[in-house]
Amino acid sequence: MLVSVLAIVDIGSNSVKILVAKMQQGVLEEVHIDSETTSLARGLPQTGQLSQESIAATLDVMKRFRKDLDRLQVQNIKIVGTAALREASNPDSLTKAIENILGSPVSIISGEEEARLSLRGALTARPDMSHEQDCSFADLGGASTEIGFLHPQLEIVSTSLGALKTHNLLEIGGEPTPDKKWQEAKDFISSILEKEVPKSLKNEIQNKKTFIAVGGTIVMANKAMGNKEFKDNCFHFQKNELETFADKLRKIPDFERAQIPDLSKDRADILPFGMMVLTECMKFFEQEKGISTVRGLRHGLALTLLDPA
């Protein structure tokens, strides 16, 4: 059964997000969009569990989302959980509490399903002159990165790369990141790409003209760099400029990063590593420029439910 307006809530590894959307003359229209960092996957590689602190932070945001949904009078709600809930040994306490707050069950989706939905959402960010067959995408999360394309046939991989995961595994604190640690992070990302990305997917993406990067971290970086939007929260960027900015940020402590306009303090610690995941992916796929957007899983799921054809 089709609904005219619905809300998508995405319980991600680094942030939780909401999209309230409707179809307007065949186009997905954002009624309300919001996100907040709760670092749900922080400490997960070491403990295998969601921390009580991150659970509490996530539930606080769910209560705020509930107020927004009541204000907007939205009753159709779809909630999905991704890598952190897939990997944690204790997701039930969180998912049950979210269900009590929002009144809908939480579906923990596979990496492949996450990638498929993210790809559909990402394609809405492409410029008007860019065709779907020319596009590839990478959806950069806190604990996983989904990569793929739609043409000549759907091919997607969900990798274990993530900005928060890389930051956690290397045990990097709030101080400037030394050269050795920075290189270790690059080597780690490169090794994951070599191990987890099929050669057929790599070869196809190398020939794509338009590379779309999905994620709030990269959008934030583009805003801080002064790049201009060509659509809502969509930016053109150059890989070398992003590398230079990431290298600048990693040389200053977190509290100084948080003072830079358009950079939020809750992403200051992992921001350089999110940028690194992206630029190392672009090196791997021989892409020199890209598009950054927040149009990913939420938009793809909204399209699937509102416009299944």
Pick one of 3.30.420.150, 3.30.390.30, 3.40.50.970, 3.10.20.30 as the CATH number of 112-297: 3.30.420.150
The predicted pLDDT at position 309 comes to: 63
What is the predicted pLDDT for the residue at 308?
Answer: 74
**What does the pLDDT read at residue 3?**
55
Compute, in degrees rounded to 10, the torsion defined by CA atoms 40, 298, 86, 39. Answer: -10
CA 275, 235, 228, 19 torsion: positive or negative? negative
How many C-beta neighbours within 10 Å does residue 192 have? 21
CATH class of the domain defined by 5-110: alpha beta
Fold agreement between 5-110 and 112-297: yes
Q: Tell me if 193 sits within 8 A of 146, measured CB to CB.
A: no
Q: Which of 211, 216, 202, 205 is nearest to 297 (CA)?
A: 216
C-alpha to C-alpha distance for 271 and 186, rounded to whole angstroms: 14
Predicted local distance difference test score (pLDDT) of residue 1 = 38
Q: Domain residue spans in the chain? A: 5-110, 112-297
Helix (H, G, I), strand (E, B) or coil at 32: strand
State the Rg of the chain over Cα: 18
What residues pair up with 137 in beta bridges, in sequence order?
148, 212
Calculate the CA 282 to chain-centre distance.
16
| Per-residue pLDDT tens digits of the chain, which is 309 residues long | 345 899 999 999 989 999 999 988 888 999 999 999 999 998 888 899 999 999 999 999 999 999 999 999 999 999 999 999 999 999 999 999 999 999 999 999 999 899 999 999 999 999 988 999 999 999 998 888 999 999 999 999 999 998 888 877 777 777 899 999 899 999 999 999 999 999 999 999 999 999 999 998 899 999 999 999 998 889 999 999 999 999 999 999 988 998 998 887 778 888 898 999 999 999 999 999 999 999 999 999 999 999 876
Q: Rounded to the nearest 5°, which phi and psi values hold at 263?
A: -105, 120
Q: At what angle do helices 271-284 and 216-225 cross, to 10 degrees?
A: 100
Residue type, 189: I
| DSSP 8-state assignment for residue 299 | H
pTM of this structure: 0.87
pLDDT in tens, 170-201: 777 778 999 998 999 999 999 999 999 999 99
DSSP 174: S
Q: Are 300 and 212 in contact (CB under 8 A)?
A: no
Q: Both tokens of residue 174?
A: 């709030």
